[in-house]
Amino acid sequence: SVLSVSAALGGPTPGARDEDAQIADAVRWAVDNGASVINMSLTRNSLDWPESWDRAFLYAYQHDVVVVAAAGNRGSGTTEVGAPATIPG
């Protein structure tokens, strides 16, 4: 089965959790709701990533869930790969 998990990414909304926290929450939600593989077709404009992602990916790993990250969603002319594709493991 396929789970569609959304995060409300975009401009800041007063009282809303930031994008990084929403992504980590979405990973944990997918794990808790039966995912065996999580596809993350997204990127950051940075090679770095937030600690909340480390914790979410560790949670997935501890529950035998594979996290797959796209490498190349930054557009033409880009020479660097951004996170989460740069995260080891």
Q: Judge whether 31 lies within some domain.
A: yes
Residue 9 has pLDDT above 70, yes or no: no
Q: Judge whether 7 lies within some domain.
A: no
Number of domains in the chain: 1
Residue 53 has pLDDT above 70, yes or no: yes
Q: How far, in Å, CA of 12 to CA of 65, rounded?
A: 30
Q: What is the mean pLDDT of residues 29-36?
A: 94
pTM for this predicted structure: 0.76
Q: What is the CATH number of the domain that holds 54?
A: 3.90.25
Q: Judge whether 39 lies within some domain.
A: yes
Containing structural domain, residue 74: 16-89
Q: Judge whether 9 lies within some domain.
A: no
Q: Judge whether 6 lies within some domain.
A: no
Q: Residue 81, Cβ neighbours under 10 Å: how many? A: 16
Residues whose CB falls within 8 Å of the CB of residue 21, separated by 6 or more in sequence, listed in order:
50, 52
